[in-house]
Homo-oligomer: A and B are copies of this chain.
């Protein structure tokens, strides 16, 4: 183990250079325009795995973006870890708010800036580099390590479930390890035991057949923008509670014990507020900020558009209006059921004078794991050794649909051991990763493999 750790410490520049190379590929999965770059990124990753010494590397085509799979063998007698990651990234707009171009990685103040730096290329590479450290020093691994790296995480992991079901045997593992979550704070190694799910919808409201003169027709025709605003406004009450009937039916309430544990975490509300750039934090009445972020479902409008948005005053009643609305769900809420409840609610409250269309764009289940599991304890020990401080038990407000899916299919423990940081702008301009976290993350992954081999 000492040799492995020393190799990691001696090869920081090389580990950084390799990461920067994959960060230069603009693998934006949401835009068809970037499809060739996504494919190029998958191929680059496969090449890198090959070079690292994988016994097997495959780039599986899907109906969407390819899935990269590889195996690093330790022998049949050893248990197996399946490492999940994604090589696709979020869009970069507004691109003019980036300090350095999103696909030209740059180190500033101990941070590596680039789209994908923390979400998820940097975190994925902690594992690849940990594997490399074993192979270049002791020559083999304490566990078999399999990688499954998808290219559709930022667009709902559409192809993943089918792939998992079709390749159950190939993917078989004793544990799944996922590094795609932030730690609680700088140098605060954390194990994430809960994720929220998501249900992402789009509403279209159709009023007049075309944009109408607001003088001639104002007063007698339904205005689709006003109607859409009314529908959206009706979805939450003053206390921030979602008003869609049945929405909370399957929510697991937070236990008193967990509320107390969450309250003990060193949350700096002012830093959080400043990171969000808001005048005040706000949210559902009766819950703390951490509870609101991690353990309660939400309803947020992601975008709205309709009518005239140009310069000056155009006096029209718009023909239509649209909105994207997503709900973060907690474990046990079913995205498909929520999508149905949502669509039914919208159709119920929509006035008869307008046309309405409700579409589900994507969904994913939440996740909650018992923190007493031996594998969770093993991961906690690995993090403590690598970072030199106590491991925190946290949840995450975001969604990794894969986690619930793999849990359902393989019934295998999923360890969410993330090396990100909450203020790393993962979906925003100036995304970055702390280099300390990257380097300590590689050590933590290496120690984790050993800890798991001893279970």
Report which of B94, B222, B281, B282 forms a contact with A278, defined as CB distance below 8 A. Answer: B222
Binds B, one of A171-179, A227-235, A384-392: A227-235
Our pick among B198, B220, B310, B427 for the contact of A316 (Cβ within 8 Å) is: B427
Q: Is the CB of B198 within 8 A of A315?
A: yes
The answer, yes or no, to whether A212 is at the interface (CB within 8 Å) is yes
Is the beta-carbon distance between A277 and B210 smaller than 8 angstroms? yes
Q: Give A289 Cβ to nearest chain B Cβ, in Å.
A: 5
Smallest CB separation, A429 vs chain B (Å):
6
* Other-chain contact of A301, B156, B229, B298, B313 (Cβ < 8 Å): B229
**Assembled-state Cα–Cα distance A323/B94 (Å):** 19
Partner of A302, one of B236, B293, B300, B317: B317
Task: Knowing A226-B232, A308-B303, A317-B300 are in contact, say whether A215-B280 is a contact too (CB < 8 A).
Answer: no
Could you tell me if A233 and B222 are in contact, using CB atoms closer than 8 angstroms?
no
Q: A397 to B293, Cβ gap below 8 A?
A: no
Rounded to whole Å, the gap between the CB of A423 and the closest CB of chain B is: 9
- A284 in the interface (beta carbon within 8 A): yes
Interface residues of A in 129-145 (CB under 8 A from B): none
Question: How far does the alpha carbon of A429 sit from the alpha carbon of B213 in the complex, in Å?
Answer: 11
- Chain B residues with CB under 8 A of A198: 215, 315
A352 at the interface (CB under 8 A from B): yes
Q: Within 8 Å of chain B (Cβ to Cβ): is A304? A: yes
Using an 8 Å CB-CB cutoff, how does the interface string of A180-216 with B read, 1 for contact, 0 for none? Answer: 0010000000000000101010000001111111111
Least CB distance from A228 to B in Å reads 7
**Most chain B beta-carbon neighbours within 10 Å: one of A216, A305, A328:** A216
A interface residues, Cβ below 8 angstroms from B: 30-32, 90-91, 94, 97, 154-156, 182, 196, 198, 200, 207-223, 225-226, 228-230, 232-234, 236, 272, 276-284, 289, 292-293, 296, 298-319, 321-324, 326, 328, 351-355, 361-362, 396-399, 422, 425-429
Residue contacts A-B, CB under 8 angstroms, 28 given: A30-B310, A30-B313, A97-B210, A196-B215, A200-B315, A209-B276, A212-B428, A213-B398, A219-B283, A219-B292, A219-B328, A221-B278, A221-B281, A222-B279, A225-B301, A225-B303, A226-B232, A228-B304, A229-B230, A229-B232, A229-B301, A229-B304, A279-B354, A282-B353, A300-B317, A302-B314, A309-B324, A313-B361
